[in-house]
């Protein structure tokens, strides 16, 4: 049985957790995911305990259903190979800081000039525009700014959630957005550029807790084992 996204080819430039988690789900749905890593590999390969064949368990947790290739995008020869892949791809997916893709010559405008139907998806902490665009973002910062830490832990000591939910939220929403963009392209023939903010994604997952704050402006406290 073929997967729902069988036939779709995704070039995955993402690294660490937020991006790879999303592309893994797309691979699980049948997409061909080609993970493009720098010559020394995704940093995740060196993190956490080793598991199968010397690979990091951390790396494997977010990188199944993929093939990997090493390319140096800072070298013209590496970019030339990448451009050849773009010509036969459906999606290019990254989690670079805003501005990095332009410096590498792989921004969406460049990709679209190579393949007019390409879909681009960029995950960043705070989006490609706005006053925070240039700030680096780690999961703990996203959890704090989104309000997730205020509802976790105790009044005396707010705590980070036990898993990197800020990163995982971005990956989940990216998979949903890319699948939707592929469906839209079937209807319109047009690609698009998806700008995804980790902060927006995590605030969305706070659902009614966030809505209560938007209603009355009261910062919610730790929820403990309460339901609703």
Beta-sheet strands, E only, within the chain? 9-12, 32-37, 67-70, 91-94, 119-124, 193-197
CA–CA distance, 158 with 142 (Å, rounded to integer): 14
| Structure token pair of residue 1 | 């049985």
Which among 15, 50, 215, 227 is annotated as catalytic? Answer: 227
SS3 for 67-125, per residue? EEEECCCCCHHHHHHHHHHHHCCCEEEECCCCCHHHHHCCCHHHHHHHCCCCEEEEEEC
Residue 215 designated active-site:
no
Q: Which residues on adjacent β-strands are paired with residue 124?
A: 197
Q: Say which residues have a Cβ less than 8 Å from residue 172's Cβ, sequence separation at least 6.
A: 21, 22, 25, 201
Q: What are phi and psi of 33, to 5 degrees?
A: -105, 120
Give Dmax over CA atoms of the chain in angstroms.
57
| Structure token pair of residue 119 | 């879909």
CA–CA distance, 202 with 173 (Å, rounded to integer): 10
| Structure token pair of residue 171 | 């990956």
The residues that are catalytic are 227
């Amino acid at each position: 049985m073929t997967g729902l996204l069988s036939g779709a080819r995704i070039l995955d430039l993402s690294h660490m957790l937020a991006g790879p988690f999303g592309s893994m789900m797309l691979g699980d749905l049948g997409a061909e995911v080609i993970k493009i890593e720098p010559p020394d590999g995704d940093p995740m390969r060196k993190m956490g305990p080793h598991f199968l064949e010397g690979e990091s368990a951390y790396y494997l947790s977010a990188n199944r259903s993929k093939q990997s290739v090493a390319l140096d995008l800072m070298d013209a020869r590496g970019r030339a190979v990448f451009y050849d892949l773009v010509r036969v791809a459906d999606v290019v997916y990254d989690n670079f800081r805003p501005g990095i893709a332009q410096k590498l010559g792989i921004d969406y405008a460049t990709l679209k000039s190579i393949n007019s139907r390409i879909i681009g998806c960029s995950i960043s902490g705070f989006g490609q525009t706005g006053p925070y665009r240039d700030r680096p973002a780690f999961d703990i910062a996203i959890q704090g700014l989104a309000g997730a830490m205020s509802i976790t832990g105790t009044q005396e000591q707010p705590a980070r959630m036990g898993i990197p939910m800020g990163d995982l939220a971005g990956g989940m929403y990216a998979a949903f957005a890319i699948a939707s963009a592929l469906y839209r392209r079937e209807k319109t023939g047009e690609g698009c550029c998806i700008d995804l903010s980790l902060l927006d994604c995590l605030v969305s997952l706070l659902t009614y807790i966030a809505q209560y704050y938007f209603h009355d402006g009261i910062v919610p406290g730790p929820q403990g084992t309460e339901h609703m």
